[in-house]
Structure formats: C-alpha cells, structure tokens
Structure 1
Amino acid sequence: MNAVNRIDSDSRHQMARLLLDEPAPWSILEHEKGKRLLTIRAADCDGERSSAHILVNRMYAARGYTTSTVPDHSSRNRITLVASEEDETVGTITVSFDGPQGLLVDESFAAEVAQLRAEGFALCEFIKLAIDGVVRSKRVLASLMDAAFLCAREVQRCDKALIEVNPRHVRFYETMLGFKVLRRDRMNHRVNAPAVLMSLDLDFADEQVFEAHQDDSSPAAGKRSLYRHGFSPEERSGLVNRLRRTYS
C-alpha cells in the first residue's frame, strides 16, 4: 500500500498545467475524415470550467439527471480535466482529492468511505464525467480516464479511486476498467438518481495499461477493455517523468 504523501495545493495546479497543457504526438486521434488533435488540459480558468460545466449539464440533462445551476469555483482539492478537439470541448472529468473537507461520496456512502480511510488508503473520487454524445469515442474516454489515473497517483499518491454510477452502468465500469462494487443502491441527491459506489485500485489500473500494450492475449487488451485505447506505457512514462522532474 502506498503511504499517504500529499503535496501542497499550489504545486498541484502547477503540475496539472505542466502535465496536460502541451499538445504532443500522443494526443492524435484517428477519425474518418483524417487526424484531429485531441488536447487534454487542466481547466484552470473560468472559461474552461464553464465549458466543462455546460457539457456536464447537457449530458446529464439528456439522461434525466439533476445538476447544479452554476459552474464550480476553482478548488485546490480538485483538478478538472477537459478534452477538446479544435477548441471544442468533447469530454471532461474531475478528480477530487480526499482531505479535511471529505469527498462527495461521503454524502451517500459515509460508512464505506470511512472504512477505507481506517484501512489506511489514500482516496480520490472521479466526478462529473461527461463525453459529448456526438463524439462517442472510446479513445476520448480512455484518454481522460488515463490522465485522471496519472493525476491521482502522481499528485497525491492515491491508492484508490471512488466513483458513484447509476446501477445500469455498473457492468460497463466492471468490464471496461475493472472497478469493483463496494455498495449497491443508495440515492444520490445531487443528481436525484440511484447510485452504486465502486472503487478502482490504481496500481491495478497501471498494470492493466502495460498488459494491454504488451500482451495481445491479455484481458486488458480485449475488445471490452478501455485500457487498450489509452496512452502507451512509453507515453505514460514520459508524463510521469515530467512530474518527477517538476517535484524532484
């Protein structure tokens, strides 16, 4: 188990910009009409946060979920990642780190989250995940999730990522990413819908990335896995090295 090793909040935001702002060869996606650049960056200005919020509201409303009416203000305990193609926001996810303020999952699953803390796990949660319905790209989703994994592991050395999902989506997260169910149906009053608490061991996720790119017979490389659509081990290594150079 990794020791809890937190770094200061200002460094966290500096890391996010360094890690994610720079367009690079690994951010090329294949589309029918040719190659288009997918850029994943930290949303650290009001305009980017507003774009992410609009996308979340649109996607959640289409599924009948309730969402907040105003964008989140910048939080030192969160990093919102935005995927864009040609300056158009096509995906977003927010990584929220545990601390004195707790996590949103505490609202519905306080006992389960408290147990994980008591066992010594460093926790984060993935919230407000949305992919533009027009894009529907596994590579966009995989790239966002992979960037979120790296932020969680390299920013605060998190052990586990938590996520609340609709019961209908449990099988997807189990099959595609290896999340495990911790507790079934509770009511999530933020979106006015039932929720299932799931967790992902971030060391397991890291192993799956390597297996997906090195062993074609591995389940991680199968058609029902998102790991084969994420960054290659070499690409991830470059991102991690950039982090280590920043905080050495």
Structure 2
Amino acid sequence: MINRRYAWRGYGSHHVVPAHRATATFTASDDSNVLGTVTLVVDSEAGLAADAIFADQLQPFRETPGRKICELGKLAFDAGMPSKPLLAALFHIVFIYGYHHHRCTDLFIEVNPRHRRFYEAMLGFTPIGTPRTNTSVAAPSQLMWLEISSIRRRIEAAALDGSDPIPRSLYALFFSHGDALELAEQLTSDRATQDARVKLFLPAF
C-alpha cells in the first residue's frame, strides 16, 4: 500500500521500511481491509531517515541531555483523505507506544511543504528551518517537530473547548486518559513488543 500510494503522488514505488533501524509499524484496519499505516523510527546508531538532509537540524536535539528523538515515516492511507477519527486513533496509538516503550521526547516528520499547515493545525507540529529537496522522492521536504510532553496538555485543552462542534484539531478525538493508560499497558507488554508490527482494528469511519 505504501508504494502504491507513494507512486500515485509521484514519489516512486520502491520504498521499504528500513530493517537496520529500530522501527514499529502500525496499521489501521476494519474487518477486512488495511486502511492506513505509519512507521515509528526510534533514534539509534543507524540514525533517522531525516538525517539524510536534516542532520544539522536534528543533532542539537540529539545532543541535549534527557532527549530521545523519534521519527514518523511511511505514512499512507488507502484512499484520499482519511477520516479525522481514524487519523486521531492511529496517531494517538503511535504517540503512546513511542513514549511508554521507547521514552521518546521529541518527534519529527518530513512532509511536503503543501501539507505543512495540516500538521500544524491538526497535531501542533512546528516547522524546523526551511524546506529542502528530498532526493529519495524527488520532492521538497519540510522537517517538522512535536514535543511529546505537550500532547497530554493539548488533549486536555481540546476536551475543554466545546465552543466549536467541529473539532479544530485531532486531539479532541484522542482516547480518554483511562483508555490511553490501558492501551499503554497492552502496547508495552512482552507479547506486543516481540513483534514490531502492531495492528489497530477500527470500525469503518
């Protein structure tokens, strides 16, 4: 699915999840179909994919005591723009796993500059520097950053804001605190972490 969707966007069709990096791949599915996927890459000696063009931007975070950087990549959905509930569920699962299992403190993602506003408005990502050319997809790329410690505050703020019936960010659709703790226990169990591929089964939205 990743290669099919990337090829449709003109980004090539030979992408793989790197086996030499510490990764966990998450898929959102209904009863019979995979709806979307995203991969979390944890910083290691192999580095992150974003190091290829943004190493100078990542290094200050990497060298800060107490920081552990991670990266979202290989984000793809089977058709068009997925629903907000599906996006919220998938992203929250990734955040929970990254924080509780790997103690990630800073999350990065490379996006096409035309998608920058979406990640700013929906998840609170902040652009780092200016766009550069990603030669692997032959397209401009913007590095964006999210501090993991801000997520709980954003969820609580979204829950308190009932003035708009249409959620202004995905955080209004995230799991409750109790459900998030239960998911954290499930995702970090020995059984779950033996397999780097984690499936999230969702109803069709």
Specify the TM-score bucket, using the shorter chain as the normaliser. Answer: 0.7 to 0.9
Cα distance in structure 2, aligned partners of 1:244 and 1:56: 26
Say how many residue pairs are matched: 190
* Deviations 1:14-39, CA, capped at 9 Å, x for gaps: xxxxxxxxxxxxxxxxxxxxxxxxxx
Q: 1:91 maps to which residue? A: 36
Q: 1:73 and 1:166 mapped to 2: Cα distance?
A: 21
Aligned with 1:189 (options 135, 141, 166): 135
Please give the root-mean-square deviation of Cα atoms over the aligned residues, in Å.
Answer: 2.4
Give the counterpart letter for 1:171 in structure 2. R
Q: What residue number does 1:166 align with?
A: 112
1:217 deviates by 4.3
Deviations 1:153-177 (A, max 9, x none): 0111110100000000111100110
Cα gap change, 1:161 to 1:92, in 2 (>3 Å): same
For the residues of structure 1 that align with 2:42 and 2:64, how far apart are their CA atoms?
A: 17
Aligned equivalent of 1:179: 125
Q: Which runs of 5+ in 1 are unaligned?
A: 1-54
- 2:176 counterpart residue number: 232
- 1:96 counterpart SS class: strand
Equivalent residue number for residue 35 of structure 1:
none
d(CA) in 2 for partners of 1:185, 1:179: 15
* Deviation (angstroms), 1:210: 2.8
Q: Decide whether aligned partners of structure 1 residues 135 and 87 sit closer, same or farther in structure 2, where only a CA change above 3 A counts.
A: farther
1:209 aligns with one of 155, 168, 171: 155
The structural deviation recorded for 1:91 is: 0.5
Instruction: Give the one of 94, 99, 102 matched to 1:153.
Output: 99
**SS of residue matched to 1:207:** helix
Do the aligned partners of 1:98 and 1:124 also contact (CA within 8 Å) in 2?
yes
- SS, match of residue 59 in structure 2: helix
Corresponding residue of 1:144: 90
Q: Confirm or deny: 8 A CA contact 1:210 1:232 kept in the other structure.
A: no
- How many percent of aligned residue pairs carry the same amino acid? 37
Match of 1:41 in 2: none
Provide the residue aligned with 2:23 in structure 1. Answer: 78
Equivalent-residue separation in structure 2 for 1:73 and 1:179 (angstroms): 24
Q: So what's the TM-score if we normalise by structure 1?
A: 0.70
**Residue 196 of structure 1: SS of its match in structure 2?**
strand
In structure 2, stretches of 5+ residues that fail to align are: 191-205
TM-score by length of 2: 0.83
* Structure with larger RCO (C-alpha < 8 A, sep 6+): 2
Aligned match of 2:12: 66
